[in-house]
Amino acid sequence: MNDTDSETGADAGTDDLPTRAGFAAVIGAPNAGKSTLVNRLVGAKVSIVTRKVQTTRFPVRGVAIEGRAQIVLIDTPGVFTPRRRLDRAMVRSAWQGAEDADAVVHLVDAEGEIAVSEGTATAAQKRSVDDAVTIVEGLTSARRKAILALNKIDAVRRDKLLALSQNRFATGVYDEVYMISAEKGSGVGDLKARLGALMPEGPWLYPADQTADLPVRMLAAEITREKIYLRVHEELPYAAAVETTAYKEAKDGAVRIEQTIYVERESQRPIVLGKGGQTLKWIGQKAREELIEILDRPVHLFLHVKVVENWQDQREFYRDTGLDFDV
């Protein structure tokens, strides 16, 4: 079964069969592919995807339809060992999403796990495995069963996948396993069908044509933040935040969006600006192009760069994201 086999939302009320609706949390180590999987399940982009780990900072809800079931997917921040206040808030947010969900999917980077077992892993893959162990411990402590989703299977031999699956099941925290490629779509349809079946009976929580529960101002900020990471991912690791300070619709149907990019040090400002402002221009152009496609209207985007030392320790930056400042 693939994603195109599902019924459309318009078909859901054509007979007397019950509808289903609920929440499915996708948890995993940073860069396991959670955002890619959520976007694939929804069939639209609802969460940013970059090569950098920990780019999802707060739970992003994507709305997927599977037959008569509506699955509200929670793309949680990665679970990792926190060092800063923002780290602690992100990890707490991830566990909160899992606690409140009707189903939990633990996404595991199968390629990385096997590389670690064979002694060929990168430092990032080793950290990912350590974080996956932390997740297993958390699920065990919470007595919460999860669906195991082994990701990136296209890069791993099947016999090694089966051995990895058996080792994971020995932990006792999983009741099902799916082998998938979030990027290419292999196996995702089967996982989606299972999640649909696990949703409790009840009316849909969102209109049939809604794909995300994310305010447009926040979505716009996330898109710009994604472009920052894509362009300056080496020079500016996790030191930037984006706030939509103004969002105004004009009479001609266009949208004027003003955003502030916050960095922590004066030395980071020229990184975002680039020589002659070219980096900032590229970020703005790419963000605007994507916003035009998503909003289906002309977009005028204005970006400003501001230095705010230790912005990660200021309460106002947590207010609109749903993260707990006091964790």
SS3 104: strand
Q: What is the DSSP string of 265-280?
A: SGGGHHHHH-GGGHHH
Across residues 173-200, what is the average pLDDT?
A: 95
Across residues 15-38, what is the average pLDDT?
A: 85
Contacts of 12 (CB under 8 A, 6+ apart): 19, 65, 67, 68, 204, 208
What is the C-alpha separation between 199 and 176, in angstroms, rounded?
16
pLDDT digits (tens, 9 = 90+) for 102-140: 999 999 999 988 988 889 988 888 888 877 888 888 788
Instruction: Considering only residues 242 and 84, tell me which one the structure prediction assigns the higher pLDDT.
Output: 242
- The domain 215-317 is placed in CATH, from the list 1.10.10.10, 3.30.56.10, 3.30.420.40, 3.30.300.20, at 3.30.300.20
Crossing angle of the two packed helices 85-100 and 123-142, in degrees rounded to 10: 50
SS3 41: helix
Give span(s): CATH 3.40.50.300, the chain: 3-198
The terminus-to-terminus CA distance of the chain in angstroms comes to: 42
CATH of domain 3-198: 3.40.50.300
What is the C-alpha separation between 262 and 283, in angstroms, rounded?
14
Q: What is the pTM of this model?
A: 0.65
Q: How confident is the model at residue 48 (pLDDT cuts 50, 70, 90)?
A: low
